[in-house]
Chain A
Amino acid sequence: MHSIFSRINNVSALLSSCMMALFAAIALSSFVFTADPKGDLGLLSVKVYPASGAKKAHSKQELAFVNFNVTADLRPLFHWNTKQLFVWVEAEFNNTKKSENAVAIWDRIIRRKDDANLKVSGKNKYMLRELTKSFKNAEPAHYTLKYNVMPYVGVLTYGEAARTNAPVEFPLVQKRV
């Protein structure tokens, strides 16, 4: 058959299979890049205050405030199929027998290779809190710097770039100044 429909049909079928093959090739190619960059994460201070939130859901609980330093060169993670990096600092801590917590306290989206050499000294963007609403029984926390490589096409990959050397204790709750 050489009707106009069959021609359209053939051309679009060929086009879509070629596209799919190309996408698959690109997605597979990113497995070749296995960079595993490491950096440093240092804690400057940790303080615990009672929350004075206006929101009902957030009131009557303790919040921790963290100052930290991050230096990490994540430029090796950028290759031709890297759309962006999502990096975040996470606090991981247990509460004796009650809960295991992992809380992202800071994050950043990196869209260009030039911006991937991280030198940040910052404080938590998001609330650091415990499930029981108190840090009294919380064990010392590990802080880690993690990243998520997001591709133009294909599989999302995750990794850890830094970790504090020793767990850091939560101090006793202070009165709000």
Chain B
Amino acid sequence: MFSEEIKNFKRLGFRHVLLQLLNFATVIASGLMIWKGLGLVTNSESPIVVVLSGSMEPAFYRGDLLFLTNPVNERYQTGDITVYKIPGADIPIVHRVLETHDDKKKDKQLLLTKGDNNYVDDLELYQGLQWLERKHIVGKVRGFLPYIGYVTIAMNDFPQLKYALLGGLGLLALIQRE
């Protein structure tokens, strides 16, 4: 079945394999550079996130792609949609700011958030904290692309898909000649 491909592979030789590996590494490295560069510009550890829960429906559905920024000297305001990560919780949460309280003595901004599709605020999600603070927040949602991120959810839900995709891409990269 794959005899043709294997023959092809043998004909191309070792140098070709090395070249393709190098190409592959370039692709991965440039992807990483773009990601980290974006992170620097937006001051957010994760400038693009995929929505994982339905708590902001009908605004955001599972798989929607969100673009975040987190400017240092900009305060958060009610109505801003923030992505936050509580220490100890494993996934970041996308919810809207319901209350802001600037504590002038401690020079801190305290926040309370709520999902548009939830009936109660997020106090239960804060794992014992009374308020959310800047240090918990990954970024503010600025832009929105529907459903593009669903691939990553599908890959998480069905790990076989992930391995099939990675394996297939790797194989193609080795076999194909340009």
Contacts and interface: CB of A to CB of B under 8 A. Distances in A.
A17 B130 CA distance: 46
A115 interface: no
Nearest to A92: B78
Interface string A125-146: 0100111000000000000001
Interface of B: 58-59, 77-79, 81, 96-105, 110, 114, 116, 121, 123, 130, 141-146, 172, 176, 178
B78 A90 contact: yes
Contacts of B102: 99-101
B101 A99 contact: yes
A88 B99 CA distance: 12
Given A99-B102, A126-B121, A151 B79 contact: no
Given A103-B98, A150-B59, A156-B142, A98 B103 contact: yes
A86 B116 contact: yes
B12 to A, nearest CB: 14
The 8 closest A-B pairs by CB, nearest first: A100-B102, A131-B101, A103-B99, A104-B78, A102-B100, A102-B78, A104-B98, A101-B101
A33 interface: no
Contacts of B101: 99-102, 130-131
Interface of A: 1, 5, 23, 27, 57, 83-84, 86, 88, 90, 97-104, 107, 109, 111, 126, 129-131, 146, 148, 150-156, 158
Contacts of B79: 86, 88, 90, 104, 146, 148, 158
A81 to B, nearest CB: 11
B150 to A, nearest CB: 14
Contacts of A126: 98-99, 114, 121
Contact of A102 (B99, B123, B178): B99
30 contacts: A5-B176, A83-B58, A86-B59, A86-B79, A86-B96, A86-B116, A88-B78, A90-B78, A90-B79, A97-B104, A99-B102, A99-B103, A100-B101, A101-B99, A103-B98, A103-B99, A104-B99, A109-B58, A126-B98, A126-B99, A126-B114, A129-B99, A131-B103, A131-B110, A150-B144, A151-B144, A153-B145, A153-B146, A156-B141, A158-B79
